[in-house]
A and B are shown apart, each in its own frame.
Chain A
């Protein structure tokens, strides 16, 4: 039975299989120089504006939607969301400001849906009716709450009326939602009950039109030859899905994918990609912000202050004991910064902010002693009134970055006598506990909007995402003023950041860059932090 002969036969069979498998690609069918294959972590299953709610509220959906549908206007390259003169006309050819509460947009007459129908003001009005309806699109309705009315004047003019004066009226009108065809989408459809035909074959007015979606694998789009800003030079666009980080990187390194939308940590992965001569690294400011949020209310009874963390000395001590610069260096290499206040790299208000402070463990220990915490029994952990200083640090298991940093933080705080318990929670459990305020220190990671007014969510007294009970009325009034100002709000925002840093509601640990990679055969490559692949329509190939 077993012999060298049969063993060899098996080996020869295996080799034959591999050779057969390679025959196909060798026939030359599997490369296309005018195609761009982008590999991402999630598949877009609902890339249609006003349907991207609840479980469909994903970046993947937004990325594909941005290829299929056009906005009225796009933010300028430096992401200044407050200056409406610098926005770039896209679907709207021009606009006029009639008064401090009214904006009128004139649509480009060349704009057409992929099925040939012209894009009209009626489409825009229809879209905003859906978007402002909180029963259909709760998230969008919240974002558009200051839009009082959207009306059509004729076929090509749309008029927006706002309910108050504030700097980002234009941003609100143009950024959050792109118009969808009113003749193809039923008025009352929701994400829970979507129009099946339209979802299977979305019709938009953007630079790319829908070809097909193979579930769990990829989405194929084709260039729209009649696109109003000129047909894209890249004829076929693929969004290929691989949920696992390493699988994505392998696809990129082996040439099966041409671009990736963030080479995940560790930094050594970036080096691997950089070592491939065909690939170019493109760092990009990211809207991510990682911070350790202190719960200022008691975990079990929200009406009482937190027994340990309501003391600003303790919070300050913890902040001073954490050496943020080496942490960011070790996790992100050169592709990360230590933020000052809650400002990620993509937020324009961070320009001009001071450098974030380094560690000072001596001062940290002094602050603890000042509040009555010292080590009486020599076990290395400080106590007060017989209770040791023990805190739980909660974070979701899905985040490698936070997992690694949490261990570093645990060790660094051990050195000043604080025992940290790592609560590694499953994703949904973490969200649950966080929302209910059941945590001591929560390792949060925010994806910030391009607009700084998003800060009100977490840092104003009644913000919807303020789970920690942080409240500073001065910051609240500063926020109101800064948001309302039409221009020159820079110094106000600086003051807001300064005040938040001073009261130490959190330790702002990292503001990373995204590190994209694109095959060198693509030229004129422009990537945008607020929507990665928005400008693929302008790329070219050698």
Chain B
């Protein structure tokens, strides 16, 4: 354990090692995903529920066209080869490259997920800190009750209620979709922007209400544990104003579980909440992935599955790095 110039090397080495591990995990998960998917019964090429189903001969033709009649390992190999060229294949149900599909849906998901995360980590952290500081008071109890009530609600129920109340009954905001189709490409930008905002409010509110409890509770707990700690007391004794104490010292250490939360939240950012996307007809990755599962759209599933896995593994990596950078004691461990 040294300080000064020797500091960089052990940390970088550790970082590289962690990153390599993450990479290997991703590869293993991807291969597992590939086989799991094809093991599940169901053929993406047949027709759902129509009386006139395909004959075996016709199905054979389709399988040949889509290359699903090849041996599994060969399919995996060709998929992997294409991947190295940046080609994720073509979706069975959308008949277009998977990369294009994901690129189209990703902005919608990021918009929604990003907004939710933003509100969570501003409003949520603030409210959690409020609870910690006013612990035991009526604000603390009410915030707990309200946030937990929100958390306990099924997201699709809450979404439906909001969509119906605000969208249908009061007609304040649109009850679904991401944009108004009647606005052609030549509409002024500010109208398009306000239209987007109008469509964003309800689904974001739904997700925030059901999730803010988590952030608030962890922030509250973390701050409570940290506030009376010796070095905080010492800082106070030194004469530092309370606000500075809170801001610099308590917050730093209170951020640990929250950082873990960020790591766990990252995949949610990408897949969104499938239920909320369904209720509000939000064209995000979550609903794309859910439909793809039902239709056994292998290329699309692989693409989205890999993306989610990458986000999760990346999230874990980020959290570990953040821990290491933030707490000097941990780094030297």
Contact = CB atoms under 8 A, between A and B. Distances in A.
State yes or no: do A and B touch (Cβ within 8 Å).
yes
A469 to B, nearest CB: 16
B177 A139 contact: no
Interface stretch (B14-22, B51-59, B145-153, B224-232): B51-59
B181 A217 contact: yes
B158 interface: no
A18 B201 contact: yes
22 contacts: A1-B129, A17-B201, A22-B194, A24-B194, A37-B181, A54-B46, A54-B54, A55-B44, A138-B54, A192-B65, A215-B283, A216-B288, A243-B278, A250-B168, A254-B167, A254-B171, A428-B42, A428-B294, A433-B41, A444-B51, A447-B49, A464-B52
A241 interface: yes
A241 B94 CA distance: 14
Contacts of B281: 241-244, 247-248, 251
A242 B291 CA distance: 12
B47 interface: yes
A199 B96 CA distance: 10
B182 A32 contact: yes
A37 B174 CA distance: 15
Given A427-B42, A435-B53, 11 more contacts: A17-B197, A18-B201, A21-B194, A25-B198, A29-B182, A35-B182, A135-B61, A215-B94, A243-B287, A244-B281, A454-B51
Nearest to B199: A21
Contacts of B191: 24, 27, 29
Interface in B274-316: 278-281, 283, 287-288, 291, 294-297
Most buried by A among B134, B183, B192, B195: B195
Contacts of B187: 29
B179 interface: yes
Given A192-B66, A446-B51, A447-B51, A242 B176 contact: yes
Given A138-B58, A190-B65, A446-B51, A220 B294 contact: no
Interface residues of B, number: 80
Interface string A11-49: 000000110111111010111100101000000011000
B181 A240 contact: yes
Contacts of B201: 17-18, 21
Nearest to B192: A24
A244 B48 CA distance: 17
Contacts of B283: 215-217
B240 interface: no
A344 to B, nearest CB: 10
Contact of B95 (A56, A426, A447): A56
Interface residues of A, number: 81
B178 A217 contact: yes
B195 A55 contact: no
A30 B184 CA distance: 9
A431 B48 contact: yes
Interface in B155-179: 160, 163-164, 167-168, 171-179
Contacts, number: 224
Contacts of B41: 428-429, 432-433
A83 interface: no
A244 B163 CA distance: 13
Nearest to B126: A1
Interface in A191-213: 191-194, 199
Contacts of B235: none
B295 A55 contact: yes
Given A30-B183, A251-B281, A55 B45 contact: yes
A68 to B, nearest CB: 16
Nearest to A244: B278
B79 interface: no
Contacts of B61: 134-135, 138
A246 interface: yes
A400 interface: no
Contacts of B192: 24
A246 B160 contact: yes
B214 interface: no
Contact of B278 (A57, A247, A465): A247
Interface string A135-156: 1001101100000000000000
A408 B288 CA distance: 33
Interface in A48-71: 53-57
Contact of B65 (A31, A191, A199): A191
B181 A220 contact: yes
A194 B91 CA distance: 12
Contacts of A178: none
Given A247-B280, A446-B51, A2 B139 contact: yes
Nearest to B59: A138
Contacts of A253: 168, 175
A447 to B, nearest CB: 6
A21 B42 contact: no
Contact of B279 (A30, A246, A458): A246
A246 B139 CA distance: 36
A256 interface: yes
A290 B164 CA distance: 31
